[in-house]
Every structure is written in structure tokens, then in C-alpha cells.
Structure 1
């Protein structure tokens, strides 16, 4: 279980994470959603002790992760799949992690087989494709057979077969009673994978609910209607309080009335209906509706410069303003030592 209480991270006068309180429970796949720069990566780094919170706290199984006696046996994390030595083979990369964490050598072969990398185990990871690198990162996260798993964009670079594999695998892990916390921008995957959602925007909690609850709260059901007498039905439905929009293919999209009420009104008025099809918004549509005011920088489609809308300059250092880069000219906090620490958690 992961528990955050009042978790806050400030960079100067900017809050990347602002008073977050949530619980990630075992037995569920919990999706962690938010626009770019919402504070997701910063939150995950604080969970793992790679960044220190300005205030508040976050614990894994009741204590800060940095106090874990056997880190890889407690938490497996994929934060940055590229954080590996490109000159090492997949096998040697995992073996180094296993030996420095007192894990049995046999476990290396098991996770390579599990992630589909057994045939390329002796190849240098520097030549891996993006998808193969993701699989290696997932293998590292699984190495200690932990009860808590954290994945940041786990399907990035995977082909359709790989995406389906990781989707089913995460659900299997949750079914075993493990805590599975996954951040992703692929709403279609989250809709098929997640049981619960934690959504943040501009560092603040926006939603903590099931996928169905999130969609129901942030979208409105519409009904596609076809009739040989569209003018009469249009007039009837608008008079009854519905919002009706004609579609190019001849159908009408009706909002504000349930399908049964539309059918009853048409029947009573003697208007034939050829189609009456309800449509519930997807997770992506609901997410876009909820977070439309949470996106700080938007692309100016069709603009001459191709930069952020409103002519705002890019953030120094190439990052997003919600998650500022550490000051240049000095050691990034925790990073030199982090190179080893990241590997130990399978980042």
C-alpha cells in the first residue's frame, strides 16, 4: 500500500506537487493520470525517496521507502527505462542488480523469460529498441518479486502484442493482491486496465475514484438517433428540453434525454425511429473534459512559430514549468548517487 498525506514539492515559488493526499490499495490496478507537467513524475520520485518532499509525507507499507531493509523485495519501479548501462547485456544488467540486492541468480533468468527477453539476454542493451528497453526495465522492476509495483509509461514503445501482454500482466499482479500503480497518457489502455484512478492537475488532486465514476462525473451521455422525419423529431425533442445536433451522415446526436424517453416521445408523436443508440463517453473524452483548464501550455495549431500558445517562452532546461529542472552548475540532488539508486529500484 502507498499512502500520501499532504505531499507537497516546491521549487522556488512554484509548486510541482500541492498538498496531495491519496491511498494506492493492494489488489487493484491504480491509474495515475494528469496532463504533462501535472506533477506525476515528481510524485513518483518522492514515493521512491529520489526527491524529498517540501512538506507532507508518503509511505510504502507503512514507512518511508528509504528505510526499507530490502528495497527491491518491497517495491519494483520502472521510472526511466533508459537508465541502464548501454554496454551491459540484459543478463549482466539484471545480474548486477540481483547481486547487489542479495537476490538469487535464478531470478534473472525467470524475469528475462517472463518479459520475453530470454533470446536477447546476452546482447548489449545499448542496441535495444525502445520497446525492448521497456521490457528490460519491467524485468528489473520484477526482479525482487515485490508486493508493490510502480510503472511510469510502461507501454511506451511496445508493439500491440507487448501492450496486450503488459495490460494482462498488470491485472494478474493485482489479482495476486499486489499494489500496482501505473502512470500513463494512453487513456484507452487505462480504460481497459485500471480499476481505480488518481487524477492530478497542476499538482493538485482532481479525482480519486473508479474508472466508471470518473467517466460518469465528467461526461454526459449522448444518444444517436436516425429517423425518416428528422425535422419533426428535432422539433419534438428540443421542445422537450433536449439538445439536438444534426450529423453529416443524417443521424442526430441528442443530449439531455435518456434513450427510453426519446423513444417514448417519438412513439407518442407517431414518428418512426430507425436507430436509437446510446453513447457513453470514453475515458479519454472524460479526461480531456476534466483537465481542459489544467493544461498550462498548449500547442498553437497552425501558428507560425510552432511554440507554446500566447508566445510564452519554453521552460529553461527543456522541462515543463510545473516540474522545474534542478539548478544547473551543481549536482542534481540525489542523482550521482541516484544513478546507482535508480538501478537498485529498477528505474
Structure 2
């Protein structure tokens, strides 16, 4: 479990993280979302003790991570797949980490096999593609068989097969009772992978809840209806209090009324319908709506 309480980080006059409080629980995948500049990377680094907070506390399974010897046995993390020595082989890179954390050498071969890199064990990392580096970073995170795992954009550079593999891996790790904290900008993958969400903007908490509840807080459901008489139906629905948008080819997008009521009004006024469906807001739409006033399009890192 990761517990963040009033966590704050300032760089001079800039407040990168401001009073964050949330909990990442075991047994589920928790997604970490926010616009560019929201403070996600800074938060992850403070959880791992790489950045010292200006205020507040953060603990991993009840203790600050810095207080834990042989850290890879407690937390596995992938923050930057490019932060490796390109002259080392994949096996040598992992063996250095294993030795420093008193992890048996045989574990190196096990995690390389798990991420599909057994064939590249003796290849130098400098010749790896981004996708291979991501897999190696995931292998390093798994090396100590830790109860807590943190990943920052782990799907970057992976091909479709790799994305599907990583999605299954994350779900399996959570299913084993581990705490899985995942930062990603890929909303479609977050929809398929995450159970819970922590959403921040400009360093402040926007939401900490289930993915379903967060999506439901976004844009209202839209009823799409196709009719040979869109003008008449639009007038009827508008008079009933709906907002109606004409999308062409007899298609109307209706908000403010449920599908059942739209159908009843069409029947009452004898307007034929060819199609009637309800589309709920996607995670991406909810995210864009709820973070619209928290976006900060700064260049540079995601502090």
C-alpha cells in the first residue's frame, strides 16, 4: 500500500505538488493521470525517496521507502526506460541490481524470460529498441518479487502485441494481491487496465476514485437517434428540455433526456426512428472535461 498525506513539493516560487493526499491499495491497478506539468513525475520520485518533499509524508507499506534496505524487495519501479548503461548487457544490468539487493542470481534469467528477453540476455542495451528497453525496465521492477510496483509510461514503444502482454501482466500482478501504480497518457489502455484512478492537475488532487465513477462524472450521456424527419424531432426534443445537435444524414445527438424518453416523445408525435442508442462519456472525454482548467502546457519535464 502507498499512502500519501498532504504531500507538497516546491521549487523556489513554483509549487509542483500541493497538499496531495491519496491511498493506492493492493489487489488492483491504480492509474495515475494528469495533464502535462501536473506533478506526476515529481510525485512518483517522492514516493521512491528520490526527491525530498517540502511538506507532508509518503509511506510504502507503513514506512518511508528510504528506510528500507534492499529496496527492490519492497518496491519495483520503472520511471525511465532510457536510464540504463548502454554498454552493459541485459543480464549484466540485472545482475548488478540483484547483487546490490541480495537477490539470487537465478532470478535474472527468470525475469528475462517473463518479459520475453531471454534471447537478448547477452546483447548490449545500447542496441535495444525502445520497446526492448521498456521490457528490460519491467524486468528490473520485477526482479525482487516486490509487493508494490510503480510504472511511469511503461507502454511507450511497445508494439500491439507488447501492449496486450503488458496489460495482462499488470492485471495479473494486481490479481496476486500486489499494489500496482501506473502512470500513463494512453487513455484507451487505462480504460482496459485500471480499476482505480488518482487524477491531479497543477499539483493538486482532482479525483481519487474508481475508473467507472470518474468517467461518470464527466460529460453527460448522449443519446444518438436517426430519423427521416430530424427537424421535427429536434423541435419536439428541444421543447421537452433537451439539447439537440444535428450531425447530418438524419442523425441527432441529444443530451438532457434519457433514451427511453426520447423514444416515447417520438412515438407520441408519430416521428419514425431508425436508430436509438446511448453513448456514455469515455475516460478521455471525462478527463478532458474535468482537467480543462488544470492544464499547464509547459515544455520540459513533468514537474
TM-score norm. by structure 1 comes to 0.86
Q: Report matched runs for 1:222-237 at 5 Å.
A: 222-237=222-237
What is the distance in 1 between the residues matched to 2:235 and 2:301?
52
Query: Which residue is 2:270 aligned to?
Result: 270
SS at match of 2:294: coil
Task: Report the number of matched residues.
Answer: 303
Residues 61-76 of structure 1 mapped to structure 2, 5 A cutoff = 61-76=61-76
Q: Is the 8 A contact 2:8 2:56 kept in 1?
A: yes
Question: Do 2:17 and 2:203's aligned partners in 1 also have CA atoms closer than 8 Å?
Answer: yes
**What is aligned with 2:48?**
48
> How far apart in 2 are the matches of 1:85 and 1:249?
58
- Cross-structure match for 2:119: 119
Displacement of 1:100 after TM fit? 1.3
The 3-state SS of whatever aligns with 1:247 is strand
Partner of 2:240: 240
Contact 2:228–2:250 at 8 Å: present in 1 too?
A: no
Instruction: Give the alignment's TM-score, normalised by structure 2.
Output: 0.98
Q: What secondary structure, in the 3-state scheme, does the structure 1 residue paired with 2:223 have? A: strand
1:283 matched to 2:288? The reply is no
Residue 254, structure 1, aligned to residue 254, structure 2: yes
| Distance in 2, Cα, partners of 1:28 & 1:107 | 25
Match of 2:102 in 1: 102
CA distance in 1, matches of 2:248, 2:87: 57
1:10-89 aligned within 5 A: 10-89=10-89
Is 1:292 aligned to residue 292 of structure 2? yes
Distance 1:134 1:249 in 2: 46
Cross-structure match for 1:180: 180
Deviation, structure 1 residue 319: 3.7
2:169 paired with 1:163: no
Q: Which has the higher strand share?
A: 2
C-alpha separation in 1, matches of 2:276 and 2:100:
62
Provide the C-alpha distance between the structure 2 equivalents of 1:228 and 1:197, rounded to a whole number of angstroms. 42
| Structure 2 SS opposite 1:157 | coil
Equivalent residues of 2:153, 2:185 under 8 A apart: yes
Preserved CA contact (<8 Å) 2:29 2:174: yes
Aligned 1:316-327 pairs, distance under 5 A: 318-319=300-301, 323=303
- Alignment match, 2:147: 147
SS of residue matched to 2:234: helix
Match of 1:156, SS state, is coil
Deviation readout 1:63-102 (Å, 9 max, x if unpaired): 0000012311100000111111100010110011111111
Match of 2:213 in 1: 213
Between the aligned partners of 1:249 and 1:117, the Cα distance in structure 2 is 52
Structure 2 Cα separation of the partners of residues 296 and 117 of structure 1: 38
Q: Which 5+ residue runs of structure 1 have no aligned equivalent?
A: 298-313, 324-347
Q: CA deviation at 1:229?
A: 1.4
2: CA distance between counterparts of 1:254 and 1:89?
A: 58
Whether contact under 8 Å (2:134, 2:158) holds in the other structure is: yes
Q: Who is 1:200 aligned against? A: 200
After the TM superposition, which parts of structure 1 deviate over 4 Å for at least 4 consecutive aligned residues? Answer: none
Conserved in 1, the CA contact under 8 Å of 2:38 and 2:296? Answer: no
The structural deviation recorded for 1:244 is 0.6
Q: Bigger CA drift: 270-279 or 243-252?
A: 243-252
> Secondary structure of the residue that 2:228 maps to in structure 1?
coil
Distance 2:121 2:70 in 1: 25
